[in-house]
């Protein structure tokens, strides 16, 4: 599992301005693939699609497709909302400050 620091989580959550969008009622962990979780974790750390693509040696369009799939599965409005929902649902986790 990849972690996100509390300051990053706070900034991301502030962008959402309150409640997150719709909620999927299925099993989050079985719906979102391991690769999608890895991608979401990098996005949570501020990686662009291009940076994620380079990290996995994939094309940017492949990462865009993964992000579309992640947002659909989480019923997220945008990338930031997907990260918030991913953290809230335990797909990625935040790290406590040291």
Q: Of 4-13, 48-57, 59-68, 81-90, give the lowest mean pLDDT range.
A: 4-13
Q: Are 28 and 89 in contact (CB under 8 A)?
A: yes
Residue 1, pLDDT > 90, answer no
b/e sequence 28-60, b meaning 16+ C-beta within 10 Å: beebbeeebbbbbbbbbbebebeebbeeeebee
Q: Kindly indicate whether the domain formed by 3-94 is annotated with CATH number 3.40.50.2300.
A: yes
Q: What is the per-residue pLDDT for 20? A: 46
Write the pLDDT tens digit of every residue in 20-51. 444 444 554 558 999 999 999 999 999 999 99
Q: What is the per-residue pLDDT for 23? A: 44
Q: What is the per-residue pLDDT for 98? A: 41
State the average pLDDT for the chain.
80
Q: What is the mean pLDDT of residues 60-85?
A: 94
């Amino acid at each position: 599992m990849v972690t996100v620091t509390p300051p990053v989580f706070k900034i991301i959550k502030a962008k959402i301005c309150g409640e997150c969008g719709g909620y999927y009622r299925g099993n989050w962990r079985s719906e979102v693939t391991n690769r999608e979780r890895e991608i979401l974790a990098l996005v949570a750390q501020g990686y662009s699609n291009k940076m994620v693509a380079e990290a996995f040696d994939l094309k940017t369009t492949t990462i865009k497709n993964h992000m579309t799939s992640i947002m659909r599965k989480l019923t997220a409005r945008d990338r930031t909302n997907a990260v918030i929902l991913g953290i809230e649902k335990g797909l990625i986790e935040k790290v406590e400050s040291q």
